[in-house]
Amino acid sequence: MPTAYTADQIRTAERALMARLPDGTLMDRAAAGLAAVCAGLLGKVYGTRVLLLIGSGDNGGDALYAGARLAGRGARVEAVLAGAKTHEAGLEAFRRAGGTIAGPDALDQADLIVDGLVGIGATGALREPYARLAEAANAAPGLVVAVDVPSGVDASTGQVAGAAVAAQVTVTMGARKTGLLVDPGASHVGELELIDIGLGPYLPDPDVVSLSHHDVYGLLKRPMGESDKYRRGVLGVAAGSDRYTGAAVLAVGGALRAGAGMVRYVGPGEPVTQVRARWPEAVITELSEPSIDEVGRVQAWVLGPGLGTGDWAHELAARVLASDVPVLIDADALTLVAGDRALLRRTAPVLITPHAGELSRLLGADRAAIEAGRLEHARRAAAELGVTVLLKGSTTVVATRDLPVRVNGTGTAWLATGGTGDVLSGVAGALLAQGLDCFDAGSCGAYLHGLAGRIAADDAPLTAADVAEAVPAAIRMLRGASRSPR
Q: What is the mean pLDDT of each run of 10 residues along the chain (486 residues)?
A: 96 96 95 98 96 95 98 98 95 98 96 97 94 98 98 96 97 97 95 97 97 95 76 94 95 97 96 96 95 94 97 97 98 97 95 97 95 94 97 95 95 93 98 98 98 94 96 93 59
Q: Output the CA torsion sign for 67, 179, 215, 459.
A: negative
Provide the pLDDT for residue 175.
98
Domain with CATH 3.40.50.10260 in the chain: 3-208
Crossing angle for the helix pair 464-483 and 438-457, to the nearest 10 degrees: 110
Binding-site residues: 58-62, 115, 119-125, 130, 148, 151, 247, 306, 355, 392-396, 421-422
Provide the pLDDT for residue 479.
85
Q: How far apart are CA 365 and CA 385, in angstroms?
A: 14
Binding-site residues for K(+): 59, 115, 151
| Spatial CB neighbours of 148, under 8 Å, sequence gap ≥ 6 | 59, 62, 119, 120, 155, 170, 171, 172, 173, 177
Binding-site residues for (6S)-NADPHX: 58-62, 119-125, 130, 148, 247, 306, 355, 422
3-state secondary structure of 52: strand
- Residue 121 backbone phi and psi in degrees, to 5: -80, -10
Q: How far apart are CA 205 and CA 101, in angstroms?
A: 42
Provide the pLDDT for residue 483.
65
The answer to whether domain 3-208 has CATH 3.40.640.10 is no
List 101's β-bridge partners, or say none.
79
Question: Is the omega angle on the peptide bond into residue 129 within 30 degrees of 0, that is, cis?
Answer: yes
List 164's β-bridge partners, or say none.
none
Nearest to 29 by CA among 61, 1, 71, 75: 61
Q: How far apart are CA 215 and CA 218, in angstroms?
A: 5
Separation in Å, CA 102 to CA 42, 142, 147, 254, 294? 20, 16, 19, 57, 77
Provide the pLDDT for residue 230.
77
Q: How far apart are CA 346 and CA 348, in angstroms?
A: 6
What fold does the segment set 213-483 form as a domain? UDP-N-acetylmuramoyl-L-alanine:D-glutamate ligase (3.40.1190)
Binding-site residues for AMP: 392-396, 421
- Residue 262 backbone phi and psi in degrees, to 5: -155, 145
Provide the pLDDT for residue 286.
96
